[in-house]
Structure 1
Amino acid sequence: MNRREFIAKSSAAAGLLAASGQRRLWAQTPADVRLEIAPLKLEIAPGKHVETIAYNGQVPGPLIRWPEGKPITIDVTNRTDVPEIVHWHGLWISSDQDGAMEEGSPMIAPGGQQRYSFTPRPSGLRWYHTHTYAGHDLKRSSFTGQFGCFYIEPRNEPGAYDQEVFLTLHDWNAYMGAATDASMDASYEHATINDRVLGAGAPIQVKQDQRVLFRIVNASATITHWLALAGHSMTVIALDGNPVPVQARVSAIRLAPAERAEVIVEMNQPGVWVLGETRADIRKSGMGIVIEYAGQQGEPRWAEPQETLWDYRSFAHPEPASAQPDQRVPLLFQSKFRGHGDFDYWTINGKSYPKTDTPMLQEGKRYRLAMRNKSSDDHPVHLHRHTFEVTSLDGKPLSGLRKDVIVVSANSTAEVDFVAANPGPTLFHCHQQNHMDFGFMMLFRYA
């Protein structure tokens, strides 16, 4: 049974479970936030539209901004003709609220409703998105506009700033294109920051000497993006919503699918500039936005960044982690060629989901995921409902860097530690949609 069949067989019963008793509850206690999943004809440029699915008729969905530790209720209505679900990415919440069917969260049947109730934590930049199967249908799941920012307000901000800007990166109109190894991969016609291609939306207005904080989410289904602000450098203050132990200045940031970065830019170069993809072909497809200083006019300028190096070590301590793991969990990533004109099939320790192993966790113990990627693809792997510390990259130790997504580069190794502090089924998977759909998932369970 593959993931699609599992969803199809589970959705009807799950939808009934989700609906039972909730209608009376909804009438008695209004929700803090309401989301409606429905088709949308999105105008990404004058006269240019994409047909998609979105939250509340907008892309990205509404920004949810909420104080850490304050309970929240979110009502979701599914106006599509297929089962849906919303995953609250990066939050430490229970499995039945997390929004992953594999963990036991109920699917929302077509025309159905679901109430999510939890206390948001930890603080920082999280996000929400659909967590369904797409397979060969590249108009489903994370290929759509079902994503939005979820900012959990901390007691103290990690950096002082004058202006705050949320940006979401996405790629549109996916199709199956040939990869270099004769397998298939997803390619795209258009790219946007928020809901517009470069030059089609209103510019971001700034003033000289401002410190602008950009909170950036890569909501692409499969594409890693390199982003630079022409004429400026960026100081990285947080990754995946967690303050970095070492704030470092870079010319460009790299964000794999589901990764987030928060950067401070000192506005010290008056003019009209492009914040966009460093690769010209992707920038020309729309991945960019105009930054305009007050009193400045003219055509937006692009200048190549001085360098596009990206290394997690730049934001971490070089010393080994002080705490030692109670147990190591070896994880080997490989692919199987399925034939010309199809996606590869993915395995963890030689097995594809749902036949992958199910390691048992004991609450309170520290686990080290020792990952070895023997494939020729990079993998942005995500652990649900937990935050991990990056402890080794290609055998070189580091510490202090806390994330929930890490890119395990092709033919490389990476190790991360996490404490089993949130009981319940816990999903681990590659956040590239076609990798996840074709086997790259496993489930941890608590003893």
Structure 2
Amino acid sequence: MRDQYAIDRRHFLALAGSTTLAAGLGVNSAAWAASSRQSLTVGTRTIEVNGKAATVFGITDVEGRSGLILDAAGGFNVSLNNTTDVATIIHWHGLTPPFGMDGNPLSQEPIAPGASMDYRFDLPRGGTNWMHSHMGLQETQLMAAPLIVRDGEPQMQEIVVLLHDFSFTPPEEILATLKGSGAAVAGSGTATMDMGGMAGMDHSGMSGNDSTAAMPGMDMGGMAMGAMDNMDMDLNDISFDAYLANDRTLSDPEVVAVDKGDTVLLRIINAAASTNFWVDLGQIEGTVIAVDGMPVQPLRGSQFGLTMAQRIDIEVTMPTDGAVVPVLAQREGDTARTGIVLAPTGATITKMSETADTKSAPVLLEMEQQLVAAFPLSVRPVTRQIMAMLTGDMQAYVWGIDGRTYDNRQPLEVAVGERVEITMHNMTMMSHPMHLHGHHFQVVGLEGRKISGAMRDTVLVPSMGMVTIQFDADNPGEWPLHCHNLYHMAAGMMTTVKYV
């Protein structure tokens, strides 16, 4: 079956022809001389979920470890080998390479079974990133892995946590169920979504061309809630069989040895296809030092919302009394949870339930309001403003941007050197984690209120909410801008930011 995001060869060559050569021009020869080629393999593997064997994808290094750890000074010099029986494309999420090296359906042709592709580009900084398929629904079958870039030797023990949602039901079947039943929850469950009276309302005809402010009556009083009064947001439209942290459920979690009193760095990646999580440290507090691989002013807390595709770096100091520290991730609006355990040698580890006592709240923008970039964009005038309306028809399960699906997209045009501002206004009853390829942007507005927020590559736009971002147009190409709920993207919520 032809992938719905595949492009014809003529379009691909027209896009890539001007960028492939440029991809090599920025390479620092000294860095590459000191850099050794890394090898990654895309393959299949078997894991155990809920007592049953499951065949899933994996991306591993030469030692069989998931993903890569690189030093920024050495650059990105990777050979990617596809040993599966399906074609694929792997995206380096969080990195900002030249267009031809990004790993998306517009920048390259799929890597055929048995074939390989080399990627080479500079790495300007360290950070917590990840890699994942950008072809069809392969990512939902765990074709994803950490991509950690360090600035020199680590200053403390680092612990990477990769979160997933998992279903034994093939993703194509889940999507077909969503398209066929509209308000029914797909997967193993049969619950019905509460659309708060909005089910069946077709928002696909709404346009962002005549609105730059919140709808009348939507003054949120600075709370950045994003949901209209008396209308329930729809939080989850798929019932998954399990939630995984480093491929394991909470019934048999990974236990990481940490000395009592030591401070460790948690690098947490939400690689779920359709789940927002609350990261919960329980009785202790941690310090957020980065989001999406970009440093922020330190922020203390014990619970942190993490939408699909986002990452969060948290420094945690272990108790001096030798107590264990569960690091949990609870699905928003649900009791289901997963996680890992940090434990000193010899500590007693009590079995934890996979369900919390109470349902969690929706993941909204409370933390986003508090985050401040450690290295914000330079102050300069905005030279291009764009309004992008996030639209959808829940009954037909069709999602779009400005009333258009990806196949019928109208690119958002920018020019090199511009300071671009995009306001994304969500006209649907579901939240959408919006990811822009090839750039880091700064969050500068929530619900029409200006902020000087974090630098990111993925930001949540809540139901009926509005988020404004700014970035410098300094990386030519035609870059995907899409919802990172994989089922929303597959149903059309993707467009491009195109340099003209």
Give the shorter-chain TM-score range. Answer: 0.7 to 0.9
Residues 59 and 146 in structure 1, CA contact (< 8 A), matched pair in contact too: no
Take 1:235 and 1:82, find their aligned partners in 2: how far apart are those partners? 42
Take 2:122 and 2:152, find their aligned partners in 1: how far apart are those partners? 15
Equivalent residue for 2:82, pick from 78, 83, 87: 78
1:283 Cα deviation after fit: 6.6
Q: Provide the secondary structure at the position in 2 that maps to 1:107.
A: coil
Q: CA 1:58–1:114 in structure 2 vs 1: closer, same or farther (change >3 Å)? A: closer
1:311 alignment counterpart: 367
1:354 alignment counterpart: 407
Take 1:57 and 1:239, find their aligned partners in 2: how far apart are those partners? 25
2:215 alignment counterpart: none
2:384 alignment counterpart: 327
Take 1:61 and 1:424, find their aligned partners in 2: how far apart are those partners? 33
Equivalent residue for 1:259, pick from 310, 314, 323: 310
Q: CA 1:60–1:142 in structure 2 vs 1: closer, same or farther (change >3 Å)? A: farther
Equivalent residue for 1:128, pick from 128, 131, 137: 131
Take 2:64 and 2:405, find their aligned partners in 1: how far apart are those partners? 32
Residues 3 and 437 in structure 1, CA contact (< 8 A), matched pair in contact too: no
- Pairwise mapping of residues 409-420 of structure 1 onto structure 2 (< 5 A)? 409-420=462-473
Query: Aligned residues: percent identity?
Result: 26
CA deviations on 1:63-122 (whole Å, 9 max, x unpaired) are: 4222224333212222222210110111111111100012x2221112222222222233
Take 1:297 and 1:266, find their aligned partners in 2: how far apart are those partners? 18
**Partner letter of residue 326 of structure 1?**
T
Matched, 1:287 2:344: no
Moved more, 65-74 or 249-258: 65-74
Equivalent residue for 2:494, pick from 413, 422, 441: 441
Take 2:464 and 2:74, find their aligned partners in 1: how far apart are those partners? 43
CA deviations on 1:42-63 (whole Å, 9 max, x unpaired) are: 1346x43222111239999634
1:166 alignment counterpart: 160
Moved more, 112-121 or 386-395: 112-121
Moved more, 403-412 or 108-117: 108-117
Take 2:113 and 2:7, find their aligned partners in 1: how far apart are those partners? 12
Q: Provide the secondary structure at the position in 2 that maps to 1:313.
A: helix
Q: CA 1:330–1:360 in structure 2 vs 1: closer, same or farther (change >3 Å)? A: same
Equivalent residue for 1:197, pick from 233, 239, 249: 249
1:366 Cα deviation after fit: 0.4
Take 1:82 and 1:8, find their aligned partners in 2: how far apart are those partners? 17
Matched, 1:33 2:33: no
Take 2:256 and 2:47, find their aligned partners in 1: how far apart are those partners? 21
Q: CA 1:201–1:337 in structure 2 vs 1: closer, same or farther (change >3 Å)? A: closer
TM-score by length of 2: 0.75
Matched, 1:236 2:288: yes
Gaps of 5+ in 2: 18-34, 175-185, 201-235
TM-score by length of 1: 0.83
1:145 Cα deviation after fit: 1.7
1:206 alignment counterpart: 258
2:457 alignment counterpart: 404
2:221 alignment counterpart: none
**Partner letter of residue 469 of structure 2?**
V
1:320 Cα deviation after fit: 11
CA deviations on 1:383-415 (whole Å, 9 max, x unpaired) are: 001000100001111115100000011111110
**Partner letter of residue 164 of structure 2?**
H
Take 1:437 and 1:3, find their aligned partners in 2: how far apart are those partners? 13
Residues 321 and 400 in structure 1, CA contact (< 8 A), matched pair in contact too: no
**Partner letter of residue 151 of structure 1?**
I
1:22 alignment counterpart: none
Q: CA 1:58–1:32 in structure 2 vs 1: closer, same or farther (change >3 Å)? A: closer
Q: CA 1:145–1:290 in structure 2 vs 1: closer, same or farther (change >3 Å)? A: same
2:31 alignment counterpart: none
Residues 479 and 498 in structure 2, CA contact (< 8 A), matched pair in contact too: yes
Residues 243 and 249 in structure 2, CA contact (< 8 A), matched pair in contact too: yes
Residues 324 and 343 in structure 2, CA contact (< 8 A), matched pair in contact too: yes
Take 1:322 and 1:375, find their aligned partners in 2: how far apart are those partners? 33
Q: CA 1:101–1:60 in structure 2 vs 1: closer, same or farther (change >3 Å)? A: farther
1:26 alignment counterpart: none
Q: CA 1:360–1:194 in structure 2 vs 1: closer, same or farther (change >3 Å)? A: same
Take 2:350 and 2:251, find their aligned partners in 1: how far apart are those partners? 10
1:146 alignment counterpart: 143
Take 1:281 and 1:270, find their aligned partners in 2: how far apart are those partners? 33
Q: Provide the secondary structure at the position in 1 that maps to 2:475.
A: coil
1:113 alignment counterpart: 116
Q: CA 1:60–1:360 in structure 2 vs 1: closer, same or farther (change >3 Å)? A: farther
2:300 alignment counterpart: 249
CA deviations on 1:331-369 (whole Å, 9 max, x unpaired) are: 011102454xxxx11121121112111132211110000
Take 2:453 and 2:465, find their aligned partners in 1: how far apart are those partners? 21
**Partner letter of residue 38 of structure 1?**
G
Q: CA 1:321–1:67 in structure 2 vs 1: closer, same or farther (change >3 Å)? A: closer
**Partner letter of residue 287 of structure 2?**
T
2:6 alignment counterpart: 7
CA deviations on 1:295-331 (whole Å, 9 max, x unpaired) are: 42141568989x97842121227x9984331110110
Q: CA 1:438–1:188 in structure 2 vs 1: closer, same or farther (change >3 Å)? A: same
Take 1:9 and 1:360, find their aligned partners in 2: how far apart are those partners? 21
Residues 358 and 444 in structure 1, CA contact (< 8 A), matched pair in contact too: yes
Q: CA 1:42–1:8 in structure 2 vs 1: closer, same or farther (change >3 Å)? A: farther
1:24 alignment counterpart: none
Take 1:201 and 1:280, find their aligned partners in 2: how far apart are those partners? 20
CA deviations on 1:162-185 (whole Å, 9 max, x unpaired) are: 321111001111542453346893
Take 1:153 and 1:267, find their aligned partners in 2: how far apart are those partners? 23
Q: Provide the secondary structure at the position in 1 that maps to 2:6.
A: helix
* Count of residues in correspondence between the two structures: 413
1:180 alignment counterpart: 194
Q: Which has the higher strand share?
A: 1
Residues 44 and 200 in structure 1, CA contact (< 8 A), matched pair in contact too: no
1:92 alignment counterpart: 96
Alpha-carbon RMSD across the aligned residues, in angstroms, is 3.3
Residues 305 and 367 in structure 2, CA contact (< 8 A), matched pair in contact too: no
